[in-house]
Amino acid sequence: MDQLDLQGRFATLTTAHVADACIRAGVQVRCAPTQVRAVVPGTRLAGQVAPARHVGSVDIFLEVLHDADPGTVLVVDNGGRLDEACVGDLVAWESQAVGLEGIVIWGLHRDTADILEIGLPVFSLGAIPSGPQRLDRRPGDALTSARVGDWTVSSDDLALGDDDGVIFLPAARADEVFSLAQGIRDTERRQAERIRDGLSLREQVRFGEYLSRRETEPTLTFREHLRAVGGAIEE
């Protein structure tokens, strides 16, 4: 899936649709920790991961950007540190100049006013004035993988971000997951329209029938019932 196709398909979806579709497809749901948020609310991004493990110097990012394809997302692993910013305005400017889609940081940023001016989508744990005051040994996999919260991602993954946060998706499963997500989106839109027209969600998903069945089938789950009646409000 090329970048234009990826952006086009994600444009009418949310990360919530994608997360639900991952469940249905049997793909592990890999969300960045909830604290990773867009610097500018309403920001969206979608692109292939370009990983970088920060060790205290900006050269690691310049090396990534030297070879990065337009439309990729720089994913920075700074170990979730809250005592230093690892990305500032110059990295944002350079990322925009080479055509990157945006930046996701497992750590902090700085130069917020400049980043707002640049307009490049940046997701991080927040801001702090201080930059790094260290220079650690660079690991051998510094440019092949990055950790964000509980997850390790690589160039085999896509990063998708919106107001709900960031989710990572195996690129090889993207077409399947997006198709499922579009179906979930369409079902939920129809359900919302019917609620506005006066037909309650309980009626739509035949909730009374579910309660009756559960009396004789105690192990029946609501998700099993939803699948049987074509609902998609949970996944």
Q: Which residues contact 198 (CB under 8 A, 6 or more apart)?
A: none
- Beta strands 157-162 and 45-53 are antiparallel
Q: Is the pLDDT of residue 232 over 80?
A: no
- Residue for token digits 């004035």? 129
List pLDDT tens digits, range 108-139.
999 999 999 999 999 999 999 999 998 888 88
- Residue set of the binding site: 88-91, 110-111
Ranges for all domains in the chain classified under CATH 3.50.30.40: 3-172
Q: Report pTM.
A: 0.91
- Residue set of the binding site for Mg(2+): 111
Q: Is the pLDDT of residue 231 over 70?
A: no
CATH assignment of 3-172, among 1.10.150.110, 3.50.30.40, 3.40.50.300, 3.90.78.10: 3.50.30.40
Best CA proximity match to 207, nearest among 235, 190, 231, 186:
231
- Residue set of the binding site for substrate: 88-91, 110
What band does 185 get if pLDDT is binned at 50, 70 and 90? very high
pLDDT at 139: 87
Rounded-to-integer distance, Cα 204 and Cα 230, Å: 10
List pLDDT tens digits, range 1-54.
788 889 899 999 999 999 999 999 999 999 999 999 999 999 999 999 999 999
What SS3 string covers the chain?
A: CCHHHHHHHHCCCCHHHHHHHHHHHCCCCEECCCCCEECCCCCCEEEEEEEEECCCCCHHHHHHHHHCCCCCEEEEECCCCCCCEEECHHHHHHHHHCCCCEEEEECEECCHHHHHHHCCCEEECCECCCCCCCCCCCCCCCCCCEEECCEEECCCEEEEEECCEEEEEEHHHHHHHHHHHHHHHHHHHHHHHHHHCCCCHHHHCCHHHHHHHHHHCCCCCHHHHHHHHCCCCCC
